[in-house]
Amino acid sequence: MASGRLKMGSVPTPELAQVMFELSCGAKLLVSPRKGAPMTALQVHIRGGHSLDDPELGGVAWMAGRMLDQGTKLHSADEIFDELEPLGGGIQGDSTGLSGTIVSKHWRKLCVRATEMLTLPSYPKDRFELQRGRILDRLRIEKDDPRSQAMHRFRELIYGDHWLGRPHYGTSESMARIERKDIVAYHKKNWVASRAVIAICGDVDPAAVKKLFERELSGWKTGRELGPAEENFPPIKRRIAAYQAKRQQVHLFLGHLGVKIQDPDYPALVVMDHVLGTGPGFTNRISRKLRDEQGLAYSVNANIHSSAGNMRGVFSAYIGTSPEHTRAAVTGFMEEIRRMQDELVPVPELDVARNYLIGSFAMGFERAGSRAGYLIRQYRFGLGSDHLETLPARFAAVTPEDVQGAAQRHLFPDGAVLSSGGPVSKNALKLALEGISEV
């Protein structure tokens, strides 16, 4: 095919009917009815998250959301669990909201308990101490884990002092400083209706859903909406960080600042990722070269599209390998990145990536939770009402020239940062980027 474009034919496209309401409290409600769906899913997104953390109390937002299922002013955590679990239901929270599922005929119980958690969390002191202790244990483990430390340093190299460069659950030091009163105050100030988007997908009636949420959230404080997020990121420039630890393996993260999901090149970048480092099996180049042909690692990948949102994500290439293979791994990443920029992807290779991407696209929307999550993202990112229907066609229209142009505009091998965790020094990383073996 000379143009390199796929003929669409019959491409499976998920149907996702939806109705949007603005509740009197100020929250947005998105309802996607799906007749006969066995499960109903609910997701609530509260804008802000750990971007609103005081750096000295990093992890407050995470604790405020994570503890929503630990009891409300009307029901204990055990009472909520005993009510929902026999109905196939459950709810959990995080720093930016909560999510839950239940057998469809019991959707009202799920929604009532979720609204209760949103507006009336009790944050019991004993459970606060227990939850904080668990996170501190996790942070202590991560402090000695090379992969976790390499990943944290990687994000710091890319985002600098920006909140995107900080872990959403804070540090051991900041978490130890958090008291129950801090999460109570955070919730009161920031979990407000004007920052909320609620999505529900399943065998439900939109009018009935709206009626329930209007009733249950009638007293929810509207609060103040947040302004545009700041994007004061460091320039794309080569930087290096090494967490040295005596291990048999080294974890390497190479990359740089990425793109927003609204970028016109986004469809081409998704296809590029499937050719470069996220395709199935051994079909993507990095896996085929570094894992299959050279035997450097089992786990290896590269990706720019999955972290894209309203703010710029990251291009990240990862490999876990033996220390003596550090230079070969870095060189392999660089060669394949530059090859994407210097050469047109052969049409047969592009066809494999596009066919897999388009063929598997609808499968990602089979679960109610995936559908509810998409409704949230569609609203947050302003993707347009026809985005879901047109995206497969946009993937099919991507040509070798589109992929090469996107790679040239959005990949910066000479400005990539490199972070490692394991028995490799910072000097060894510098030499690896320069293509020199450490002596």
The answer to whether the CB of 223 falls within 8 A of the CB of 47 is: no
Q: Would you say residue 6 has pLDDT above 80?
A: no
Q: Give the pLDDT band (50/70/90) at residue 11.
A: low
- Residue 230: the pLDDT is 87
pLDDT band at 232 (very low <50, low <70, confident <90, very high): very high
pLDDT confidence tier of residue 1, bands split at 50, 70 and 90: very low
Gap between the Cα atoms of 301 and 314, Å rounded: 13
Enter the DSSP assignment of 229: P
Quick one: what percent of the chain has pLDDT higher than 70? 96
CA 391 to chain centre: 19
3-class state of residue 320 by DSSP: strand
Length of the chain as a residue count: 439
pLDDT given for residue 281 in this prediction: 65
CA-based radius of gyration for the chain: 23
Which pLDDT value is given to residue 8?
A: 46
Contact 368, 34 (CB under 8 A): yes
Residues 359-372, mean pLDDT to the nearest whole number: 89
Per residue in 345-355, pLDDT tens? 999 999 999 99
The three-point CA angle 412-417-422 to 5° equals 140
Instruction: Report angle CA 407, 411, 412 to the nearest 5 degrees.
Output: 140
pLDDT of residue 364: 82
pLDDT, averaged across the chain: 93
Give the up-direction half-sphere exposure of residue 99: CA atoms within 13 A in the CB hemisphere.
16
What pTM was estimated for this model as a whole? 0.92
pLDDT digits (tens, 9 = 90+) for 399-436: 999 999 999 999 999 999 999 999 999 999 999 998 76
Question: Which domains can be identified in the chain, with CATH numbers?
Answer: 19-216 (3.30.830.10), 240-433 (3.30.830.10)
Q: What is the predicted pLDDT for the residue at 265?
A: 98
Rounded mean pLDDT of 4-16?
63
Give the DSSP H/E element, type plus range, for residue 139.
Answer: helix 125-143
Categorize the per-residue pLDDT at 2 as very low, low, confident or very high, splitting at 50, 70 and 90. Answer: very low
State how far the alpha carbon of 164 is from the alpha carbons of 49, 52, 140, 170, 257, in Å. 11, 11, 21, 12, 11
Reading the block at residue 161, the tokens are 């002092």
pLDDT band at residue 16, thresholds of 50, 70 and 90? confident
> What pLDDT does residue 439 have?
36
> Exposed e or buried b for every residue in 220-257, given b needs 16+ CB within 10 A?
beebeeeeeeeeebbeeeebbbbbbbeeebbbbbbbbb
Residue 205 or 10, more confident: 205
pLDDT for position 263 = 97
pLDDT (0 to 100) of residue 299:
86
Distance of CA 59 to the CA centre of its chain: 18
User: Per-residue pLDDT tens for 100-127?
Assistant: 999 999 999 999 999 999 999 999 999 9
